[in-house]
């Protein structure tokens, strides 16, 4: 009977340790921005000139006739505008 009570106590302590470890693990998985791992931080867009995908917030934007274009760099934006002017 004493062995059974001892075993129940060990299981209880083990569960408590596991719960505290899992809570700590969730806190560690948070990034600097406060978002949990796997959450979407920004939208990826495609450069209309060189066709590279990049985060929208890092892009260079250009508005033409009410339509907004996002480019990966100022160079791509300038080349795209030059190409548009040739047409």
Whole-number percent of the chain with pLDDT over 90? 44
What pLDDT does residue 11 have? 82
Segment 13-42, tens digit of pLDDT: 878 877 777 666 555 555 555 566 666 678
User: What are the sequence ranges of the domains in the chain?
Assistant: 1-38, 42-87
Is residue 48 very low, low, confident or very high in pLDDT (cuts 50, 70, 90)?
very high
Distance of alpha carbon 44 from alpha carbon 80, whole angstroms: 19
Contact partners, residue 31, CB within 8 Å, separation at least 6 = 37
């Amino acid at each position: 009977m004493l062995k059974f009570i001892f075993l129940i106590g060990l299981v209880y302590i083990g569960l408590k340790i596991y719960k505290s470890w899992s809570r700590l693990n969730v806190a560690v998985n948070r990034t600097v921005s406060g978002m949990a791992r796997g959450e979407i931080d920004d939208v990826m867009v495609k450069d209309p000139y060189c066709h590279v995908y990049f985060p929208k917030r890092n892009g260079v934007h250009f508005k033409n006739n009410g339509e907004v274009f996002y480019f990966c760099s100022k160079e791509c934006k300038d080349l795209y505008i030059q190409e548009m002017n040739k047409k």
